[in-house]
Structure 1
């Protein structure tokens, strides 16, 4: 079992080998995902093979960073001092326009986050790692 590492109070992601291109791209303010070269399905989270057809050829693509709120939940009491400073905050899944689902934090007042609302990515450095967060956009 690995322990959580913190930088400037923020927990840092557990980085697995298949996801390294994703984390590197975020450092350049780019959101990426994989697509299977065999069945053309979007693949997320990163894999060494396609979970849809078992194909072994996956290609990294840059996302447009747009989608819609698929689900959400508001955290009223943050688990650490850093999270408590920004409470309440809302997390959930975004249904990305490219056809995959990404878990994230929403940059909006909790009552403004509604299933189906359009969102787009914003990048925020937390500790040493840039994270993709999502803001509501006018439709």
Structure 2
């Protein structure tokens, strides 16, 4: 009998549940403070800047710019071995927060620092995760 390796996934809690529920609906959300206006990601109970508890949820346009990326050739855990090589990217979103996400195979072939990208979603073992879905050609 062969054991199936489980991919580690986020575990939603009271602070992050609205974010993960929105992902399941195909929406990327982020928080901002109603007192000081600070945009923050990942979800928290308090504003990172002023510690206010009055945080609002907002929908992202799901468009950002690649700050950096790496191609993983050596899996950090056995469960990721079949995925190699894969790309993990840091994306500066239009709304002012930074998102880390894997890229689709198509995007992985063409991604570059400074690329404009669209975030989509992928389902992994019943959980919906953000993914760098496509490159957006910007007019020159």
Q: Among 118, 121, 130, which residue is 2:119 paired with?
A: 121
Corresponding position of 1:66 = 63
Corresponding position of 2:52 = 55
Structure of higher CA gyration radius: 2
Q: Distance in 1 between matches of 2:61 and 2:116?
A: 13
Q: Map 1:65-84 onto structure 2 (within 5 A).
A: 65-80=62-77, 82-84=79-81
Q: Among 21, 28, 31, which residue is 2:28 paired with?
A: 31
RMSD: 1.8
Q: Distance in 1 between matches of 2:123 and 2:97?
A: 23
Unaligned runs of 5+ in 1: 1-6
Residues matched between the structures, number: 132
Deviations 1:105-127 (A, max 9, x none): 122235x2211110111111011
Q: Distance in 1 between matches of 2:77 and 2:98?
A: 26
Unaligned runs of 5+ in 2: none
Q: Distance in 2 between matches of 1:72 and 1:10?
A: 21
| 1:55 shift after superposition | 1.8
**TM-score normalised per structure 1:** 0.85
Does residue 136 of the first structure (1) align with residue 121 of the second (2)? Answer: no
